């Protein structure tokens, strides 16, 4: 990467010099041309090159400064390793942006190999998802193209948001995967609308859970705990983690890390995110 960066710097310097040369040539072009069109064209070209080169240089400088701020602040982003835990973070049209990005970011910080996987859609080659508030996310792959036999993973996570959660509930492939994980005692997790919209109607909700406060009446009768009492609930017997919504996303993600890579790493990430762990083990 260092060699590439140096080459880009050299190219920018050359373009910068060329832009100045064009600007200096503009008066000469006016002298030898009967009209000012040539001079104007040369001047515009030189100005355009300088402006474009300046934007590229500022963009590169901004990235360097951002990296420097992270390093100086002591922030750490752990790169996943070949033996890292693998997690599927499902998304669909209408999934919640804060929850999706917060879960993904927190897992990455803990060294987990997190993958965004699209659920639903008519075209499997189109991995774009228009989220619940209008942002566009691009998945790494489509759920229908994955196989647990060739690519085993350690957890499946469902962000909330509507109609994203409804898309999850309408996916036979996803429901089959979740039911298989339940039967095998493998971890899965859901936040916000997904516990009530996806897990509860399909027999996947554990006896202790929570969800978005506005939907808690849909799951309360099946629970042995008060769903409003906890921001994150871990049902260790059922191997299911649930949480309430956008404002509990980071805590939710940190508790997923505690399960996947241990409390030490979870505490480290929580400290870097300036949050306190809030899970209630069931």
- Tell me, what's the pLDDT at 3? 46
Q: Tens digits of per-residue pLDDT, 141-181? A: 999 999 877 788 999 999 999 999 999 999 999 999 999 99
Question: Could you say which of 12, 90, 129, 192 is catalytic?
Answer: 192
Q: What is the pTM of this model?
A: 0.72
Q: Identify the DSSP state of 261.
A: H
Q: Tens digits of per-residue pLDDT, 221-277? A: 989 999 998 999 999 999 999 999 999 999 999 999 999 999 999 999 999 999 988
Are 226 and 278 in contact by the 8 Å Cβ rule? The answer is no
Helices and strands: H and E segment counts in the chain:
8, 10
Q: Which two tokens stand for residue 175?
A: 């429901």
Residue 76: which pLDDT band, with cuts at 50, 70 and 90?
Answer: very low
- Tell me, what's the pLDDT at 219? 95
Active site residue 192: yes
- Tell me, what's the pLDDT at 118? 98
Q: Which two tokens stand for residue 213?
A: 């406060």
Alpha carbon separation from 24 to 21, 38, 46, 74, 97 (Å, rounded): 5, 13, 9, 47, 50
Q: Give the Cα separation of 240 and 171 in Å (integer).
A: 19
Distance of alpha carbon 62 from its chain centroid, rounded?
21
Tell me: pLDDT of 42 over 60: no
Tell me: pLDDT of 117 over 80: yes
Q: Give the Cα separation of 274 and 281 in Å (integer).
A: 21
- Tell me, what's the pLDDT at 107? 98
Residue 74: which pLDDT band, with cuts at 50, 70 and 90?
Answer: very low
């Amino acid at each position: 990467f260092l060699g590439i960066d140096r080459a880009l710097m050299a190219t920018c310097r050359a373009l910068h010099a060329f832009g100045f040369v064009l600007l200096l040539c503009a008066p000469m072009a006016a002298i030898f041309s009967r009209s000012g069109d040539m001079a104007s064209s040369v001047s515009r070209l030189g100005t355009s090159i300088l402006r474009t080169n300046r934007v590229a240089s500022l963009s590169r400088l901004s990235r360097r400064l951002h990296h420097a701020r992270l390093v100086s602040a002591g922030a750490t982003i752990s790169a996943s390793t070949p033996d890292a835990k693998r997690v599927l973070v499902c998304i669909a049209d209408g999934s919640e942006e804060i929850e999706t990005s917060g879960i993904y970011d927190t897992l990455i910080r803990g060294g987990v190999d997190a993958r965004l996987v699209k659920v639903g859609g008519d075209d499997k080659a189109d991995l774009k998802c228009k989220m619940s508030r209008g942002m566009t996310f691009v998945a790494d792959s489509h759920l229908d193209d994955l196989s647990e036999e060739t690519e085993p993973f350690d957890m499946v996570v469902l962000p909330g948001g509507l109609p994203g959660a409804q898309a999850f509930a309408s996916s036979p492939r996803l429901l089959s995967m979740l039911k298989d994980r339940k039967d095998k005692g493998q971890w899965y997790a859901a936040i916000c609308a997904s516990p009530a919209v996806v897990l509860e109607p399909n027999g996947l909700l554990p006896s202790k859970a929570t969800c978005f406060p506005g939907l808690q009446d849909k799951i309360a009768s099946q629970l042995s705990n008060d769903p409003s009492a906890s921001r994150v609930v871990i049902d260790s017997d059922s191997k299911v983690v649930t949480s309430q919504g956008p404002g509990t996303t980071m805590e939710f993600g940190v508790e997923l890390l505690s399960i996947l890579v241990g409390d030490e790493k979870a505490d480290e990430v929580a400290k870097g995110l300036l949050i306190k762990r809030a899970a209630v083990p069931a």
